[in-house]
Amino acid sequence: MKPKIAISIGDLNGVGVEIALRSHEAIKKLCEPIYCINQPMLKQASKLLHITPPADFTLHETKGEFTIQPGVVDASSGLYAYNSFMDAISLCETKQVDAVVTMPIHKEAWMQAGLKYKGHTDLLRQHFNKEAIMMLGSPQMFVALFSEHIPLKEVASHITQQKLTTFLLDLHKSIGEHRVAVLGLNPHAGDNGVLGDEEREIEAAINEVNNTLGQELFVGPVVPDIVFTPAFRKNFNYFVAMYHDQGLAPLKALYFDESINISLNLPLIRTSVDHGTAFDIAYKNQANNLSYLNAVKAALIFLEIPLEPLANSNSHR
């Protein structure tokens, strides 16, 4: 039997439902997808897209009904995306599915709906009371984020030896015996305190973790402006960035179409597309589905299902 994966449909004013519909034939060869959307909302979206839903498009009837407005930030759409995600989590917790794959949400729509979460990972962290780790990337490069959706001015005070030590040990438990380059925060990684002291905390955490593991798996703090160069990346596939854009700007410049989002250090497997709701092209049948295909494949890899390698942009041109 194929593994079952719950697909959280995301913000229905965006591209998620289009990607799910157009990818179904490919996805069902890998797993049994369960789409968390009800029949009325699927019918409405399909009509707007001029796509007939496949006969074997299996639904979990997420409650709620509203008028889809392509490309509009809307509280009703935000709430439905939240309900879809919670249904997917519930299906996984009750062992009705083996993993969760999420389509993109719109954070402002969640805020308008009165939801307190800053996104999927923040919700998972609070729901399971676990320090979920957000890691994004593709087979060529994975970046784990030490801090995620916090203001840039708060990043420096967030970096302490204790917090980073816990983070690195949790990351190791999730990815195994991979060497990891840990970025510094400041230009030139602080130049030994000339440009900042945060690297002292980073270095102390790296030393503590390596001593605990009995091997030098974490390297750094590495100068941020050289770490993503081809010469450096020949020796590393995994990186830890101190803040969101430090890691994701180079990742998306290099592997935007194919990269994915993985939630680590949780009691369930959750992967996601690594792109937003793309309101500018919503319901225009222009969305790229490569990240979604890779997110499903990554979930199956975590389930230890043998697969072909993850797809990249070159193989789909």
Q: Tell me: the pLDDT tens digits for 252-270?
A: 999 988 899 999 999 999 9
Q: Which of these three, 223, 239, 264, is where a domain ends?
A: 264
Q: Are 124 and 43 in contact (CB under 8 A)?
A: no
Same domain, 19 and 126: yes
Task: Name the residue range of residue 218's domain.
Answer: 134-264
Mean local confidence (pLDDT), 99-108: 97
Give pTM, 2 decimals: 0.88
In the chain, what percentage of residues exceed pLDDT 90? Answer: 88
Is the domain of 248 the same as that of 275? no
The terminus-to-terminus CA distance of the chain in angstroms comes to 32
Q: Are residues 191 and 112 in the same domain?
A: no
- Do both 104 and 174 map to the same domain? no
Residues in the chain: 317
Amino acid identity at 81: A
Record the tokens describing residue 211, joined without a space.
């001593």
Instruction: Examine the pLDDT at 144 and tell me if it is beyond 60.
Output: yes
Of residues 243 and 138, more confidence is placed in 243
Tell whether 205 and 292 lie within a shared domain.
no
Q: Which CATH number covers residue 189?
A: 3.40.718.10
Q: pLDDT grade, residue 307 (50/70/90)?
A: low
pLDDT at 311: 58
Task: Provide the pLDDT for residue 310.
Answer: 55
Q: Which of 228, 247, 264 is the last residue of a domain?
A: 264
Looking at every residue in the chain, the average pLDDT score rounds to: 94
Same domain, 10 and 107: yes
Question: Do 232 and 315 have their domain in common?
Answer: no
Query: Tell me, what's the pLDDT at 306?
Result: 60
169 has pLDDT over 90: yes
- Cα–Cα distance measured from residue 302 to residue 116, given in angstroms and rounded to the nearest whole number: 29
1 & 123 share domain: yes
Split into its structural domains, the chain has a count of 2
Tokens of 300: 């199956």
- Regarding whether 177 and 165 lie in a shared domain, the answer is yes
